[in-house]
Amino acid sequence: MKNLFLVIFVLQLFTAHSVAQPQDSDQRSDSTQINNSTIYKALGFTAAYYAGSLFILNNIWYKDKKVVPFHFYNDNSSYLQVDKFGHIYGSYVYSYIGYHYLLNSGFTRKEALLFGATLGLILQTPVEIMDGIHEGYGFSWGDMAANTIGSALVFGQEFLFKEQVLKYKFSYSESAYSDKANGYLGKTTLNRLLKDYNGHTYWLSIPINKLVENTIVPSWLNIAVGYGANGMYGEFENITYYDGVVIPETKRYRQYLLSLDIDWTKIKTDSKFLQTVLQAMTFIKLPFPAIEYNSTGEFRWYWLYY
């Protein structure tokens, strides 16, 4: 999953730079706050992202693919839409970081919304175009729609509420299917993180206090709804052989989950190190008890869902 690989890359790039929630302000107090250094840094981060991502794509995903005339590819049912939730996640992360970075650099909220909260769609569109000119891939309108939703989730909430009431998060646990796939779902931990969609879960997390006003539940305690899928040994349907080895027959099914979560931005600390760690965890859903309902009609309880 090249989208998730690039998300990991951009998170590493920005982890050292603050994206903490700023004070509410529609205008900067001093026009001199934005200097050439700030602008050059923003441009430098973007240039570094593009250079790194293009290198990765050309040397990994497109390495053995021929350049062909631009074409389209309908993958809307790919991996039971887990792939599309991943595109939303990537776009959300880019836009969230872009918006808060610009806002904390002295740009007005309007400027940060326009140039930062749209960053996910801006950065992921060239990747879709590259897909469109390589054999085995193709330009996907479904991916573009998902990329738009990711940026809109940041833009819309900041425009309406001036905060991210809903946080979009990701969790991963290596699935039992990967050991039975003879390498089809990846041979290493990193490969499996990118290829094993059975282990991906995407969450919308909201503070309980936003749903029910009370003074008992701490402000950082959230409730989260998640989506994932299992039983997948292929993009649209399961394969039966891989590298001469029989792949077990499984049933593909969707998972709908309800769990608890933590809003790391609500935990206050005077430690810059801890603040950086908490900021980096904004997009990650940690293990908590969870209830699952799936498309086979089953309910399941997990003491800890990863």
Which amino acid makes up residue 137?
Y
3 three-state secondary structure: helix
Report the C-alpha gap between 24 and 7 in whole angstroms: 28
Q: What is the pLDDT of residue 105?
A: 81
- What is the distance, to the nearest Å, from the Cα of residue 29 to the centroid of all Cα atoms in its chain? 33
- 197: containing domain: 165-306
Which amino acid makes up residue 100?
H
Q: What is the pLDDT of residue 205?
A: 97
Of the residues 163, 197, 231, the one at which a domain ends: 163
Q: What is the pLDDT of residue 214?
A: 81
3-state DSSP of 154-213? HHHHHHHHCCCCCEEEEEECCCCCHHHCCCCCCCCHHHHHHHCHHHEEEEEEEEHHHHCC
The answer to whether residues 139 and 180 belong to one domain is: no
The answer to whether residues 33 and 103 belong to one domain is: yes
The answer to whether residues 93 and 237 belong to one domain is: no
258-286 pLDDT tens trace:
999 999 888 888 887 787 778 878 999 99
The answer to whether residues 42 and 21 belong to one domain is: yes
Of the residues 113, 132, 163, the one at which a domain ends: 163
The answer to whether residues 150 and 5 belong to one domain is: yes
- Domain count for the chain, please give it: 2
Residue 271, class by beta-carbon neighbours within 10 Å (0-12 exposed, 13-18 middle, 19+ buried)?
exposed
The answer to whether residues 2 and 126 belong to one domain is: yes
Report residue 140: phi and psi, to 5°: -115, 120
Q: What is the pLDDT of residue 8?
A: 53
Residue 222, class by beta-carbon neighbours within 10 Å (0-12 exposed, 13-18 middle, 19+ buried)?
buried
The answer to whether residues 107 and 246 belong to one domain is: no
Q: What is the pLDDT of residue 23?
A: 47
The answer to whether residues 158 and 213 belong to one domain is: no
| Nearest by Cα to 173 from 151, 201, 145 | 201
Of the residues 136, 163, 190, the one at which a domain ends: 163
185-201 pLDDT tens trace:
988 888 888 889 999 99
Listed as ranges, residues in the chain with pLDDT below 50 are 9, 12-13, 15-16, 18, 20-25, 27-32
Q: What is the pLDDT of residue 12?
A: 47
Report the C-alpha gap between 212 and 251 in whole angstroms: 39
* Pair 229, 255: CB distance under 8 Å: yes
The answer to whether residues 270 and 285 belong to one domain is: yes
The answer to whether residues 258 and 130 belong to one domain is: no
Which amino acid makes up residue 16?
A
The answer to whether residues 155 and 171 belong to one domain is: no
The answer to whether residues 110 and 10 belong to one domain is: yes
Which amino acid makes up residue 57?
L
